[in-house]
């Protein structure tokens, strides 16, 4: 069977910079940090007090009437993010699903953790007032697949409907599985992405006790510093990101704008540790190799990699060495640019793969590569690569790769190409 071509026709995001692609992209190319002191929860007793919080979300929702107030009360925050991001993506794609066969339009939107906020609030209600006092909407609010369910109901999409849960690789796998589903004819259009809202008491506290987070409380904007020798952990973010993936002929027939083509998808498992990456980077390297092979190109053709680049000691080293193994370092490949935009938006967990796919797509569209900010003293243990330190650069980007690696050793690599007829 001949595989069908798949293109991206719509983008939508909720990020620490606010609602909307323009706010997200313009902040990144300006090298602006979205990391700040957390405002949604009491911080007494917390050893980490900052993150990539979507602080303007509620105000933007109310001002722009993005969600119905009654429905918002029946959604966890992560589902709200997914709905708003999907609305922007569908509008951006100029997609009218009422004119489509609804069973050919799918939704693949995941979340790494689901409704942490709902867990906390309803557990407190039960402890304070008894086991029958939790909301009747508790279960449909907290389950991880409800973002996909709500998005499908919102837009009338009746085709493939599922939620991927692979921690930090969640929305990368969502985009990749959507790509495969359209390639092989199971759908014509899929809303793909992820959402996460773990800046809660348990989320912040648990990640802190796992000793994974930066504790640079006095300098939050400088806390996420991938590849820098002074990095001390990642910075949690939140948000939602969705892409409209579409079969090429379907997109052309309805006159859709095409941002880029999806041409490669790799996925592997480390089979190594619950949290730590395989220090050899073998699984990460294989994931990238598979994506490049899937696109039927040589590794030297890849111009830009948006790295997983979380700002952890082991993760940055392992991934950088894997990149150098597959694509070469500066001694053998001077064309390749690598950056971690988590230095600016933080680690959006289940939303991060889709958000960083958007970065790759915009880099292709605009010919600009966003920087890795806070990279002041490069760690000699990371591979010798061009990490685009501190300032965006102009570049002709034909192929861009996005890496996402989750707790449990789940790896995903997505390869995008500048669209050519």
Active site residues: 168, 308, 347
Q: How far apart are CA 117 and CA 53, in angstroms?
A: 14
Contact 208, 201 (CB under 8 A): no
Q: How far apart are CA 34 and CA 50, in angstroms?
A: 10
Question: How many helices (H) and strands (E) in the chain?
Answer: 14, 15
CB-count burial class (<10 Å; 0-12, 13-18, 19+) for 329: middle
Closest CA to 224 of 348, 350, 353: 348
> Looking up tokens 């640019």, which residue turns up?
337
**What's 272's DSSP letter?**
S
Give the distance from CA 369 to its chain's centroid: 17
Q: How far apart are CA 185 and CA 57, in angstroms?
A: 37
Beta bridge partners of 389: 372
| Tokens read off for 343 | 């230095």
| Three-state secondary-structure class, residue 13 | strand
Contact 224, 344 (CB under 8 A): yes
**What's 349's DSSP letter?**
G
H runs (alpha helix) in 281-312: 282-295
Q: How far apart are CA 410 and CA 167, in angstroms?
A: 8
Contact 341, 384 (CB under 8 A): no
């Amino acid at each position: 069977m001949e595989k069908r071509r798949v293109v991206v026709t719509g983008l939508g995001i909720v990020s620490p910079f606010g609602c909307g692609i323009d706010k997200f992209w313009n902040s990144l190319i300006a090298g602006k940090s979205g990391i700040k002191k957390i405002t949604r929860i009491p911080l007494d007793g917390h050893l980490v007090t900052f993150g990539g919080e979507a602080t303007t979300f509620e105000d933007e929702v109310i001002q722009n009437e993005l969600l119905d107030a009654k429905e918002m009360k029946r959604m966890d925050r992560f589902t709200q993010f997914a709905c708003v991001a999907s609305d922007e993506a569908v509008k951006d794609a100029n997609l009218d699903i009422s004119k489509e066969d609804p069973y050919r339009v799918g939704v693949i939107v995941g979340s790494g953790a689901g409704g942490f906020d709902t867990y906390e609030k309803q557990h407190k209600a039960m402890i304070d007032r008894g086991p029958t006092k939790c909301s009747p909407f508790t279960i449909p609010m907290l389950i991880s697949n409800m973002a996909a369910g709500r998005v499908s109901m919102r837009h009338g999409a009746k085709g493939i409907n599922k939620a991927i849960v692979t921690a930090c690789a969640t929305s990368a796998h969502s985009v990749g599985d959507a790509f495969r589903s359209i390639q092989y004819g199971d759908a014509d259009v899929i809303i793909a992405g992820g959402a996460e809202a773990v800046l809660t008491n348990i989320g912040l506290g648990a990640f802190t006790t796992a000793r994974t987070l930066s504790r640079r409380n006095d300098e939050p904007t400088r806390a996420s510093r991938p590849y820098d020798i002074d990095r001390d952990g990642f910075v949690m973010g939140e948000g939602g990101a969705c892409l409209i993936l579409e079969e090429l002929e379907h997109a052309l027939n309805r006159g859709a704008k095409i941002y880029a083509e999806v041409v490669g998808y790799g996925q592997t498992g480390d089979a190594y540790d619950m949290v730590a990456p395989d220090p050899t980077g073998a699984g990460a390297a294989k994931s990238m190799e598979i994506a490049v092979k899937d696109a039927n190109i040589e590794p030297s053709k890849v111009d830009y990699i948006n790295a997983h680049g979380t700002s952890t000691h082991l993760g940055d080293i392992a991934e950088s060495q894997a990149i150098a193994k597959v694509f070469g370092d500066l001694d053998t490949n001077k064309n390749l640019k690598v950056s971690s935009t988590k230095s600016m938006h933080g680690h959006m967990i289940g939303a991060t793969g889709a958000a960083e796919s958007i970065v790759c797509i915009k880099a292709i569209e605009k010919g600009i590569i966003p920087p890795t900010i806070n990279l002041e003293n490069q760690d000699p243990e990371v591979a010798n690569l061009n990490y685009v330190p501190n300032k965006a650069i102009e570049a002709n980007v034909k192929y861009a790769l996005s890496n996402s690696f989750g707790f449990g050793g789940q790896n995903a690599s997505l390869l995008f190409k500048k669209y050519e007829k």
